[in-house]
Structure 1
Amino acid sequence: MSRSSTFNQPSPKPSSGWVGVGLRHAHYGDAMSGTSAIDFVEVHAENFFAQGGASLSLLQDVSERYPLSLHSTSLGLGSASGINAAYLEKLALLTERVNPVLISDHACFTWSQLHGHSVHAGDLLPLEYSARSLQLLIDNVDRVQQHFGRQILVENVSAYIAFNDTTMSEAEFLVALAQRSGCGLLVDLNNVLVNAHNFPEGDPLTVAKQWVDAIPSELIGELHLAGYTPSVSPELIIDDHSQAVSEECWALYEYTIQRTGPIATLIEWDNDLPAWPILVAEALKARCIIDNVFYAQEGASHVA
C-alpha cells in the first residue's frame, strides 16, 4: 500500500484537457479583464507569502476567476537537511487560503545547514540518481504530503552537471519516487529536451521520446512546456524560459499526448515576457494538439 492512502485527495481537481499559463506580475491586469480562453493559471507560491497586502488580495481575486496552481521553487524536496519548517508553514497557510487545484515543486535540493542556520541555495540544484538520494526525496515528499493532507506533483529539472554516484536513470528515479511516495509527476518536456542536448546520447528529440516512454502515464499529473534561448556554444543550453515553446518541444508534446491522452498542460514563460495575447495563443496551440490527437483517436476507434 502506498503512503498516499494516508492522506485525502483535494476536492478541486484539474480536468485532463485543461490548458493554462504561468501568471506573472506584468499580466495580472490582462488576466483579470475581459474573457480569457485559458482554463487555469499557475503562480510561484513564494511571491504570495506575505500575511496581507495587495499581492495576497490580488491572488485571492485571481483564484475566484481561474482555477489556481501553486508552483513552489523552495521546498527543496531533495535536501539532505530536510524541509525548512518555516517555509512549509507559509506554503500550507497559502494553500488553505486559495485552495489550489495543484501544488508542485521540483526534484532538487535547495536547503543546507551552515553554522546551525538554514541556507537557501537560490537555485534548483540537481540530485544524484542513487538509492540514498531517492530515499531522502521520498521521506521529504511524504512529510509535505502528510502536512498538507493531499498529493503534490514533483517536477523533473534541467541540469548542467552529472554525478559520479548516479546508479539509475532520471526516469527510473522519478518513477520510483512516485510509486513509493504516492506523489504525482509534473513532467516538464522542455527540461527533458534541455538535458537531452546537454548530455547527448543521440538525437535529442529521440532521446526525449524514450524518456517519456519510461514514465507510466498514470503517474503524470501535469505537463509543462517552455522555450529557451539558443546558446552560442552548442555544448550547453541554459533553461531560461524566455522564448516561445520550441518546435522541438511541440513535437515532443504531440508525441506525449498521443501516448498518454490529454493531460493538464501549462505554458511557462518567465523572462522577456510577451504580450498577454501571445502567451494565451501558446496555450491554445496546446489545446489544438490535444483536440487533434483526441479526435483523431476517436475517429480511428469508430472506424475500427
Structure 2
Amino acid sequence: MTASLSSPLPARAGIGLKPQHYADVLAAGQGTAPAWAEVHPQNYFGAGGPPHRWLTAIAERLPLSFHSVGLSLGSASGVDEGELDALATLCRRYAPAMVSDHLSWSNGRGDRFPDLLPIPYSHAALDHFTAEVGRVQDRLLRPILIENPSRYLAYAGDDWGEVDFLHELCRRSGCGLLLDINNVEVSAFNLGLDPAAWLDAFDPRHVGEIHVAGHAVKDDDMGGAIAVDDHGSPVRASCWDSLARFLDRSGPKPVLIEWDSDVPDYATLIAEAAKADALLRAPAHA
C-alpha cells in the first residue's frame, strides 16, 4: 500500500457547479457558500466567453476540482490526445486543486460514445490503464484521481475484484481514488453485491475525494429492477449511512454533493452540502 494520500481540497462539503448557480455562489455569504466546487472541464474547453468569466470569478473565491469525463483512459487506442491537450491547457489556466477521471472507456476506433463504459478487470486491462494514467499524470505534472464506476453488468472471467483492481492501480501508477459511494451502491444493487463489504475492504489512504448522490431504481423488462446512476435526486439515506460508515475509518475527506439532472435550486443543494458538513464535523469523524 502507498502512504496516505493528502488532498489539497478542504475536508469539507463541495458542490458540483452548474451555470444556474453561478450568481448564487458569488453572492453567497458565510454559511451559504460551499467550501469548494467541482466542474466538468469539458464545459470550459472554449477559449473565452461567459463561462470563463464566471469560472474565473468563482475560482478567486473557491478551490476547484476538475472532474473530467472525456479522457477515455480505458480505450484500446489510449487516451484521447485532443482531450488531454485541452485539459492540460485548462489546468494551466486555473490551477485546480484536484483533477480526476473515470475507470472507464468512451471512445472506439472512429467512434465516441456518450457514456462511461466499464472495463474488464483483467491483467491486460490493468497494465493498459496503469500506463494511460501515467501518460496523463506526466502530461499534467500531477497525480490524478480515478473514480470507481457504476456498473450494470459484470464481465465474465475477471482476474481481479474491483477493490483489488483499484488498489493495484493506485499502487502501480501513484494515482488516488475518487470514491463515489453512490456508484458503489448502484453496482451492488445491480450485481448482487454487498456495498458495506466493498467500502470496508477499500483502503481509505488512497481516497482523495468522495462523491455522494441520488440514484433511481426502475423496473426492467424481465420482472426485476435496475438502479440507474442519474444524479437526479437528493442523496439517499443509505448513501448517507455508507458515507458515515466510511468516514469512521478514514476521517474527514472532501465530500461532493453530485446532482447533474433535474438540478434543484441553490438552497436545496446547499442544504445537502450542510448534511455532509455535519457528518464531517461529527466527533467520530473530526
Structure 1 271/167 Cα, relative in aligned 2: closer, same or farther at 3 Å?
same
* Percentage identity across paired residues of the two chains: 38
Q: In structure 2, what is the equivalent of residue 174 of structure 1?
A: 166
Kept after mapping to 1: 8 A contact 2:217/2:225: no
Distance 1:297 1:243 in 2: 26
3-state secondary structure, aligned to 1:197: helix
Kept after mapping to 1: 8 A contact 2:210/2:254: yes
- What TM-score, normalized by structure 2, do the two folds share? 0.93
| Match runs of 1:188-199 below 5 Å | 188-199=180-191
Distance 2:149 2:18 in 1: 20
Deviations 1:30-80 (A, max 9, x none): 111131331000011100000111112211111111111111001111111
The two structures, once aligned, show a CA RMSD in angstroms of 1.9
| Match runs of 1:1-304 below 5 Å | 13-15=8-10, 17-35=11-29, 36-114=32-110, 119-201=111-193, 207-233=194-220, 234-292=224-282, 295-296=283-284
3-state secondary structure, aligned to 1:259: helix
Kept after mapping to 1: 8 A contact 2:100/2:146: yes
- What TM-score, normalized by structure 1, do the two folds share? 0.88
3-state secondary structure, aligned to 1:57: helix
Question: Structure 1 residue runs of 4+, over 4 Å off?
Answer: none
Deviations 1:60-113 (A, max 9, x none): 111111111111001111111111111101000001111101101000011221
3-state secondary structure, aligned to 1:230: strand
Measured after TM superposition, the shift of residue 235 of structure 1 is 2.7
Q: Structure 1: state its 5+ residue gaps.
A: 202-206, 299-304
Deviations 1:169-193 (A, max 9, x none): 1111111100110001000000000
Distance 1:110 1:183 in 2: 20
Counterpart AA for 1:95: C
Counterpart AA for 1:196: A
Size of the aligned set, in residue pairs, is 280
3-state secondary structure, aligned to 1:94: helix
3-state secondary structure, aligned to 1:65: coil
Distance 1:297 1:238 in 2: 30
Measured after TM superposition, the shift of residue 297 of structure 1 is 6.5
Q: In structure 2, what is the equivalent of residue 301 of structure 1?
A: none
Q: Structure 2: state its 5+ residue gaps.
A: none
Counterpart AA for 1:99: A
